[in-house]
Amino acid sequence: MFRNFLQLSDMIARSEAFTPRKIAEISDLMQGGRDFVYLPEKGLLFVAMSEMKITNRIDSYLTNVST
């Protein structure tokens, strides 16, 4: 339906859609993921985590600023 709306068959002879592939699952985390970098050639996944509760984030900010 979306492809018809954009009239892709008229504009492009052949188009392919990206299909994501699940490579890992991270569950039961107390913090929220902010960013990630995946290096498939090395088999590494780096995830930047952050506190999600605003009160803890404010406390952390005030503690780090005062030192």
Instruction: Quote the CA–CA distance of 11 and 62 in Å, as a whole number.
Output: 55
pLDDT tens-digit readout, 9-64: 777 766 567 777 887 777 777 777 778 888 889 988 888 887 777 787 788 778 88
Q: How far is CA 1 from CA 9, 10, 14, 17, 23, in A?
A: 12, 14, 16, 14, 29
Which among 25, 24, 65, 32 is positioned nearest to 48, based on CA atoms?
32
- Is pTM beyond 0.85 here? no
Instruction: Quote the CA–CA distance of 62 and 33 in Å, as a whole number.
Output: 22
Which among 48, 47, 50, 46 is positioned nearest to 31, based on CA atoms?
50
Q: Report pLDDT for 41.
A: 92
Q: Report pLDDT for 67.
A: 57
